Amino acid sequence: MIKWKKLDFSLASVYIFAYILFLFISSEAMVLLEPKNYKNFFDGLWWSIVTATTVGYGDMVPHSETGKFLAVVIIIGGVIAVAVFTASVTTTLVEKKIFSQKGYKMLDSLENHLVICGFKTPRKEVLNSFKRHYQNNIVIIYPELAPELENLLQENDLKFAQGEYNDEVVLKNARIEKADKVMILNMHDEFADAKVLETVIVIRSLNPNVYIIAEINDPKYENYLIKSKCNEIIMSEEYNRFLLSKSITEPGMSKVVRNLLKTQNFHIKTKHDFTGKSYKEAFEDSLKRGEILLGIVENYITEAKLKKIVLTKLRFGGEVKKYQTLLNQIKKHEVQMEVKINPEDDTVIPEFAAIISMERNNG
C-alpha cells in the first residue's frame, strides 16, 4: 500500500512536469503560428497560463484552427493538472499533519514490534511493561484518532495505523508481516468475536510465525481460534464470572486476584536450570533464591522456534527425532501449552517447560 502511494506521487510529478513543458512549447508555437496576435514569447506564455487556468481574460485569442486546437488541449490538460496537483498537496499535508506534527512516525522500517488491534486505555504500569520489551516499537490499530488515543500516542511516542483491524490493507500498513507479537482486543460491539476470529485468520496468512493473543467473550469461538493457530486466548467474560462467583463463596477472592495481577514480581520464566528435576527439588531451590515456585507451563515453545531448533540439529548434528515429533504434534494441534499450578512433588519438569514464580518482595 505504501509503495503504491509513492508510485502515484511519482506519476503526478511526471504529469505536471510534462504539462508545464507543453505550456512552454505551446507558447512558442503560438508566436510562430500567429505572429500578429502573439508578438513575443511572453505574450504566448501569458495566453497559455490564462487558458490553462480557465480564467480567459479574452485579451488574446487564437484565430487559426491549430491555435484553437492547442487551446482545447491546454484547457483539458489544465483541469487534469489542477486536480492532480491539489490531490498531491492534500495527501502531503495530511501525511505531514498525522506523522510529523502529531509526532507519529512512518512504519516502513518497523520489525519485531508489537501490534495492538483495538484501543482500550491501558494501565500505566501495563504500558510501561510493553515499552520495556518493545521500546517505542508499538503500533495501535484503530478506526479513528480519538483525543484520548492521540494523547497516548504523543506522550509515549507510539505508532498509529488508522482503520479496522480485520482489514488486510490496514494490517499491512502496520507491518504485520514483520511483527513479533499481536494483541487483538475485543471491542464488545456487534459480531466482535467473529471479527477477532477473522483478524486471526488474516494475520496468520500474512505472518505464519507471529505470536497472536486474542480476546473473546463467547467460549464457542475458542476451538475456532485454536484451529486458526491463535497462540493465546483470553476470555474476559469467563474471568468476570469466576470472580463474581468466587466473591460470593469465598469473599475477598477478587482482591486477591487483582493484587496478583498488579504485582510486578509475578513472572513466567523460560530460562532456568530445573529441566529434568522434580517439582519438589525446583520448589526448594527457588525458595533458597528468594522466589516462590507456583507451577510450570509445559510445551512453552512456538512452532517457529521449534522449527529453528530442528533445522539447527539437522545442520550441526544431534538428536532430532523427538523434536520433529513434537513439531508435528504442535502443527496438528495435538500438543498445546499446558499450565500446571502446584503439581505433585514428583512431577518431572520437562524440556520446553517454563516456570511460574513470584519473587519475594524484601522491601
CATH number at residue 61: 1.10.287.70
In a domain, 29, yes or no: yes
Neighbours of 118 (CB within 10 A): 21
Q: What H or E segment, with its residue span, contains residue 155?
A: helix 147-156
Arithmetic mean of pLDDT, 216-242 = 87
Residue 125 has pLDDT above 80, yes or no: no
Q: Is the dihedral of CA 107, 161, 118, 177 positive or negative?
A: negative
pLDDT digits 0-9 by tens, 3-53: 444 444 467 788 888 888 999 998 899 889 998 888 899 988 898 888 888
**Domain residue limits at 288:** 263-359
Q: Which residue has the higher pLDDT, 27 or 125?
A: 27
In this prediction, residue 120 has a pLDDT band, given cuts at 50, 70 and 90, of: confident
pTM, whole model, 2 decimals?
0.62
pLDDT of 245 reads 86
Domain annotation covers residue 28: yes
CATH of the domain at 224: 3.40.50.720
Residue corresponding to grid cell 477478587: 254
157 and 119 co-located in one domain = yes
Instruction: Look at residues 74, 101, 128 and tell me which one is the last residue of a structural domain.
Output: 101
pLDDT band at residue 201 using 50, 70 and 90 as cut-offs: very high
Q: Can you give the pLDDT at residue 181?
A: 95
Question: What's the distance, Cα to Cα, between the start and end of the chain in Å?
Answer: 52
Backbone angles phi, psi at 264, to 5 degrees: -95, 0
Say yes or no: 223 and 135 in one domain: yes
Check whether residue 119 and residue 212 sit in a common domain.
yes
Task: Please check whether residue 258 lies inside any domain of the structure.
Answer: no
Of the candidates 130, 158, 160, 159, which has an alpha carbon nearest to the alpha carbon of residue 142?
160
Domain count, the chain: 3
Would the pLDDT of 178 be above 90? Answer: yes
Whether residues 288 and 349 share a domain: the answer is yes
Residues 120 and 217 in one domain: yes
123 vs 254: which has the higher pLDDT: 254
Q: Which residue has the cell 500474512?
A: 206
Residue 62 falls inside a structural domain = yes
133-137, 180-184, 250-254, 266-270 — most confident range:
180-184
In the listed set 188, 223, 239, which residue is the last one of a domain according to the structure? 239
Q: Which of 40, 66, 101 is the last residue before a domain boundary? A: 101
Domain annotation covers residue 245:
no
C-alpha–C-alpha distance, residues 159 and 130, integer Å: 13
Find the range with the poorest average confidence among 38-47, 117-126, 218-227, 296-305.
117-126
Taking the CA of residue 285 as centre, how many other CA atoms within 13 Å lie in the half-sphere pointing to its CB? 11
Regarding whether 119 and 230 lie in a shared domain, the answer is: yes
| Banded model confidence at residue 304, pLDDT cuts 50, 70, 90 | confident
* Residues 6 or more apart in contact with residue 110 via CB below 8 angstroms: 137, 139, 159, 175, 178, 179
Q: Does position 225 have pLDDT exceeding 80, yes or no?
A: yes
**Is the same domain home to 121 and 231?**
yes
User: How large a percentage of the chain has pLDDT more than 90?
Assistant: 34
10: its cell numbers: 511519482
Calculate ∠ Cα 200-166-134, nearest 5°: 70
Residue of higher predicted confidence among 104 and 306: 306
Predicted pLDDT at 283:
95
d(CA 152, CA 138): 12
Give me 67's grid cell: 491555435
If asked whether residues 229 and 129 sit together in one domain, one would say yes
Residue 80 lies in a domain: yes
In a domain, 257, yes or no: no
Same domain, 216 and 326: no
My answer on whether 293 and 330 are in the same domain is yes
The residue ranking higher by pLDDT, 183 or 92, is 183
The three cell numbers locating residue 215: 480476546
Mean pLDDT, residues 336-345 taken together: 91
Pair 71, 25 in one domain: yes
Residues 233 and 139 in one domain: yes
Does 307 map to a domain? yes
